[in-house]
Structures are given as structure tokens and as C-alpha cells.
Chain A
Amino acid sequence: MMVALKDLPKEEPYAPGHRLCAGCGPSISVRMALKASRGPTVVVNATGCVEVSTTIYPYTAWRIPWVHTLFENIGAVAGGLEYAYEALERRGQLKGKVDIIALGGDGGTFDIGIQALSGMLERGHDVVYICYDNEAYMNTGIQRSGATPRGAATTTSPAGKVIPGKRGKKKDLAGICAAHGISYVATASIGFFGDYIDKVRRAIEVDGPAVVHVLAPCPLGWRSNPSDTIKLAKMAVQTGLFPIYEIIDGKYKLSLKPGRLIPLEEYLKLQGRFSHLLKPEFKDELEAIKREVEDEYKRILSLAGEHVT
């Protein structure tokens, strides 16, 4: 059952007035995620676009308690908060459950923070970890991360004369998280807001750690039109590039039933970071990427028990 727009709470724990860019996907992802919150909620935010743009002292865009410490440690900070709340509750100094949301970008999650995330999952902290994925370090000037897709041009994986953008696959974050044996992992896209908000809510309701990996396009880094953010977030799913699914107790469940896929070129051509791939000299590279996307899509489909053609 997908949540309807009219049923969303009116409260905005994430206030307007932050300094994120026009068309910023991560900002949309935060606002939507907090629409799924159910009670007292604390956000632990890794260093990244959202952090640096929402809390420039003496201003803050957060109407709920919010903590930032470092780039790589929200898994651990959130775990510490959870244990402290438990201890304080036992001492009668705190009443009721506090929901903890750890919020990190792809750099803070796929790369530098993966150890703290892994520790948090292994210990079983009751924390919802949301990774907003814009596929590079955007606030430092568009450098590649472990979430950058093959072929994307960033300032540290430039499309040069001999190397056409980022080498190597994007990490399978959902698979890595699920391998810890936790009961809820989901991928989502801000292009399918109902599905995403539902997943965050389910993640909150799970007892123990849960991870939601949400695709959140960045117009600056993707070199796309700010008005295309949601469209691109949808197309990433519709091309098969970013399938959205849940992994509940190890079982994969596709969220969007496969139909006819949109050709990948339609998605790539709206983004400057891929423009080199559409040139004749990188035709082979584009074909290789298409094959990889298809293989990966089929792998997820098959894990979800869907028919693979």
C-alpha cells in the first residue's frame, strides 16, 4: 500500500530556508524521508551537501534534534545515541522511544563510512540508515565516489582522450548491507515518492537496523537541468539502471514490475556527465555499459524471482 500524497503529514521537520541548490535531489530525499517519521526523531547527519547547506551557523533548517560530527562515522554516532537513550530510559530520565535516522551521502556511505555502517549493522542497532546517492562527492566539486556509475565523468574521473570517465562498477550497497543478515534493506528513488516514503516508514518500524538507499540526482554534478531532477530519478529506474526493490529477511522483492525498459541513451543524453559516451569514438564503451546494466538488472530480477527474458 503506497502512501497517498493527500495523506502525508503537513509538518515539515526539514524547514525551508536551507542553502541547497535548485532542483537538489538530496534535499528532496530528506524532506520526503521525514514525512515518514512517526514520533520523536533524531537525525545524525554525515558531512556532505545536506549537512553543510542546512546548518550554517547561526541558522538551521532542522526543527528536530540534529547532530553532525564527521564524514565517516554516523553508523557509530547513531549507535552511541541509541545506547545512551536506552540507558537513560532505564534510569527514568527519558520517556518513550526515540527513532534515530542516520543520513549520509554516497561518499559517507559507499566509501569512507562503510566500516562504521558495517559495525552498526553487525551490532544490530535500532537505527534507520538512509544513503542519499547522487553518485559523487558533489559539495567538494563533483569527484568520483564508489557510487559513481561506470562511464560517468567527474573531476577525478574525467572523460579524457584515452579514459572515458569512471572505471569500475558501482558498489552493490544494498547487497553489502543485506549480507549482514539484517531484516530490511531497500533501494528507492525520489522519482517514486510514495514508494520511497513507504520504505522509510517500513525501515523505521523494523526492530533493529534498516537501510534505505535512495537515488537523488544532483543537477550540478550530473550537469542536468534542475527541472529534470525528478524525471531523471524516474528514468534511472525505468532504464533498468537503478532497479528499486526491497530485501526483507534476505528475500528480494521488486518494487516496480518490469515492463519495457527505456533505452539507456534517453537517460544519458539529458546529462552532461555522460555526453562523451554518445560520441562515436566511445561507442564500444557505451555498448559495454549497456551490457553491464542489463546483466545487473537481470541479476536483481532473478534474485526477486521475476521472469527474466
Chain B
Amino acid sequence: MPGAYTGDEAAAYAAKQCRVDVVAAYPITPQTIIVERFSDYVADGEVDTKYLYAESEHSAMSACVGASLAGARVFTATASQGLALMHEVLYLASGLRCPIVMAVVNRALSAPINIHGDHSDMMGSRDCGWIQLYAENAQETYDLIVQAFKIAEEETVQLPVTVNLDGFTVSHATESMKVLSDEDVDKFLPPRKPIFKVDPETPITVGAMALPEYYYEVKRQQEEAIQKSKGVVKMVGDEYGKFTGRRYGFMETFGLEDADAAIMCLGSTCGTVRSVAKDLRAKGKKVGLIKLWTYRPFPTEEFLSTIKDLKALAVMDRAISFGAPYGALCSDVSSALQNTGMDIKVMNMIYGLGGRDTPPSTVREVFDEALRTAKTGRVKERIRFLDVRE
């Protein structure tokens, strides 16, 4: 069924169709429309979801953990400071293996205060043990949320998932998109079957204290689970593709077959990059795009086989990792390349902080620089800040 939705509306609609039992959230720009739309569904009796209007994001995520432990299907949404306030609880959700799904509408962090899009929020919680998916537009937001529940609740996974969408660029822009019928979503996503739950009939102790004798083993198991979830991400992406014609997985590439230089990034900017790459290829330039849908678990092997014939790769990070050699995404790329013997020149571009526009002309500059590097084999600048006043 086609329709016009903003990214936020698409997220709310997907959660509704996934028949979530409990939503617990606190509003924050630019996520607000998600909780507003969901509140409408509740107020109009269109869903039988229990909506917990929390007094903070910390409590919202805490309530999600409680509800998920009880066996419910749980959804929430946040952004920026809200995600930062949840930070402590994010680790509980993954450590206690709660398959919560959360839409994160990516937004800059204070200070200075700014409500616009960048990836500082999620990169700040990069290592919280959640599976992290990134959507390019409203369609992908919808598609990824439906898949996220299936991935999260899979017996071997039992981990929480974030679906990231760029603040305003995706969250507030209305797009024409396709949604499934309620029946089709029901077919794709059966009700949750919890592996363990806090249920009076089978008393269990959840969240026990693990001293040095056991803590390490629990954490190791958690890492194994998220690494192994790769198979499920792929399987669900394929299945969704068969179901809808829109196949997902770890990444989408454009023009990589014969490209000398490529740009890698997350989220809405991929649309601009693809469009510029198309123009350049029409002019005979061998350029391509790597768009990651799945940032955690990082699809290391698949990524390496994708880039093996590239000469230069420009990694665009929409967040600063203060004091680090590179932005977070570029650090991941660099460490994936470690010891592989591949001679691919990697350059890092920081861009779009606090909603700074990244027009096609900027992307063209990045491609030009990447092509130059592919030719010369020399990286002029290890890290470059695009479109910033010096």
C-alpha cells in the first residue's frame, strides 16, 4: 500500500503494525512525532498497546527493560540528550538480553545545544551491545523497524536493536513510500516467544550480581551473541526481500564492481552520494557508494570482500570522536583493514555536524579527492572537516 509519511510517522506506523505490547517513551525533538502518532493510535483505540508515559528517557528505557523481561514486545524512540540519558540503561537492555526495538532519530548533542541531525548521539552509545541499523529514508525506516523485531526476538539473538534515522532530513520530510498490510506484517512477524521471562510460574532471578568469577563469561557470551546475529540479520533481510521486493542485509553498494574510489557513510547522506555517483559515472568516472545498514555487528568480512578492488575509500563520519585518530566509522574501517594486506588508501571526512547541509557539490569534492588519491596513491589529509568555517 503506497502512502506519504515522514520518517517519524513511518516509524510509528511500523511499530503499530508490529503489534507492540508496551511502548514507554519521553518526547524529544526530532523524535516527538513518533510518540505523538503513537499516542494518537492509543487515544483512538487503534492499538491495544499499553503506553507508559515516562517522566524521563532514563525511566522510559528502564520501563522498556521491565516490560521486555516480562515477555512483552516493546518499542521506544529517542534522540540526542534522551539517548545520552538512557546510556546507563542501554547496557542493561543488552546485558539482560531484552529484544527491545528503539528508533533513534539522530541529533547533535549539547553543548552548544542544537536540535539538528548528526550521529553524535548514537556514536556516544556505540559500544552498548545493541544491534544498530541505519535507514536512509522513511521507507527504510519502516522496513528496518519491521525487520528489527524479527532480528531482536530470534531465539539465538535476544538482543535489543536501534533503527537510526537522521533528524529532520528523514524524520520530518514527507516521502512517498510503500507499507505492508497488517495481515502481511502479521505473517512476517509472529508474536514474540520469549526464551526466559519474569513469570510467577517459573521463578527466576534476573540481574544477579556476578563477581570476577562469572562477569567476564557473561560479557563474552553477549559478544558471541551479537557476532552470531549477523546470520540472522542477513536471513531476515533476505526474507523481507522475498516478501516485499526490498532486500536488506549488511550494506547496499552502488557502482562497486569496477570502482577505483568510493564513499562510505551512514543514513540519509547516502542518497546524495548515490545521486552524485550516478552523475559522475555518466561522465565515465569510476566511483561508488557503500551504505551500511548494519553498523553493529560490523560486517567485517563482507565489507572487506566488497572493497577488495578499490584503490581509495573516503569514509564520511557525521560525528567527531574527540581526540581520536579518526571518526568512529573510519576507525572501524581502519581496524577492519588491519593485517589484511590490502593496499586501499583510506581518508576520513567529518561532515554535517549539527545539521550543517551537505550538498551534492561537497560530495563531488570528496569524490574528486578520492579519485585523485586512487591515482596518486597519496592521502593528502588524514582527516578533513567538510564545509566548516576555519
Contact = CB atoms under 8 A, between A and B. Distances in A.
Interface of A: 40-42, 44, 51-52, 55-58, 60, 62-70, 72-73, 75-81, 83-88, 90-91, 93-94, 98, 115-116, 118-119, 122-123
Contact of B55 (A41, A42, A66, A119): A119
Given A73-B89, A87-B22, A119 B56 contact: yes
B203 A69 contact: no
Given A87-B49, A87-B72, A67 B206 contact: yes
A241 B64 CA distance: 39
Contact of A81 (B55, B69, B204): B69
A116 B67 CA distance: 15
Nearest to B49: A87
24 contacts: A56-B209, A63-B203, A64-B200, A65-B206, A67-B198, A68-B207, A69-B62, A73-B62, A73-B89, A76-B62, A77-B62, A79-B52, A79-B59, A80-B63, A80-B66, A80-B67, A81-B66, A81-B69, A83-B24, A84-B67, A84-B72, A88-B72, A116-B55, A119-B55
Contacts of B68: 80, 84
B50 A75 contact: no
A110 B198 CA distance: 27
Contact of B66 (A44, A52, A64): A44
A77 B209 contact: no
B299 interface: no
A299 B22 CA distance: 43
A86 B72 CA distance: 10
B92 A69 contact: yes
B53 interface: yes
Nearest to A67: B206
B282 interface: no
B208 A57 contact: yes
B63 A79 contact: yes
B208 A80 contact: no
Contacts, number: 156
Contact of B92 (A44, A51, A70, A119): A70
Contacts of B210: 57
Interface string B303-325: 00000000000000000000000
B50 A87 contact: yes
A177 to B, nearest CB: 15
A76 B66 contact: yes
B24 A80 contact: yes
A87 B205 contact: no
Nearest to B207: A68
B92 A40 contact: no
Given A65-B204, A77-B63, A81-B66, 12 more contacts: A57-B210, A64-B200, A65-B198, A66-B204, A76-B59, A77-B65, A83-B21, A83-B50, A83-B52, A87-B49, A118-B55, A123-B52
Contacts of B56: 115-116, 119
Interface of B: 21-22, 24, 48-50, 52-56, 58-60, 62-72, 74, 88-89, 92, 96, 191, 198-211, 214
Nearest to B202: A65
Contacts of A75: 59
B66 A70 contact: no
B145 to A, nearest CB: 19
Contacts of A85: 70
A169 to B, nearest CB: 25
Contacts of B53: 123
A70 B209 contact: no
A96 B48 CA distance: 19
B59 A81 contact: no
A222 B52 CA distance: 40
A90 B60 CA distance: 22
Given A56-B208, A83-B63, A65 B214 contact: no
A115 B59 contact: yes
Residue from A60, A69, A86 with most neighbouring chain B CB atoms (10 Å): A69
A67 B66 contact: yes
A85 B200 CA distance: 11
Contacts of A44: 66
Contacts of A94: 199
Contacts of A122: 55
Contacts of B96: 69
A98 B52 CA distance: 18
B209 A52 contact: yes
Given A64-B203, A83-B52, A77 B198 contact: no
Contacts of B199: 65, 94
A83 B54 contact: no
Given A55-B208, A55-B209, A57-B214, A76 B54 contact: yes
A91 B71 CA distance: 12
Contacts of B24: 76, 79-80, 83
Contacts of A72: 58
Contacts of B21: 83-84, 87-88, 91
A78 B66 contact: yes
Contacts of A69: 62, 65-66, 89, 92, 96, 207
Contact of B207 (A58, A67, A80, A84): A67
Nearest to A90: B48
Contact of A93 (B22, B71, B200): B71
A119 B59 contact: yes
A80 B64 contact: yes
Contacts of B54: 76, 119
A4 to B, nearest CB: 27
Contacts of B204: 65-66
Contact of B200 (A65, A87, A91, A116): A65
A249 B96 CA distance: 38
A81 B198 contact: yes
Contacts of A64: 200, 203
A122 B96 CA distance: 27
B221 to A, nearest CB: 13
Kindly list the 3 A-B residue pairs having the minimum CB-CB distance in the complex, ordered from nearest.
A80-B66, A40-B200, A80-B63
Given A60-B208, A66-B205, A79-B52, A98 B200 contact: yes
Contacts of A98: 200
Contact of B71 (A40, A88, A90): A88
A123 B50 CA distance: 12
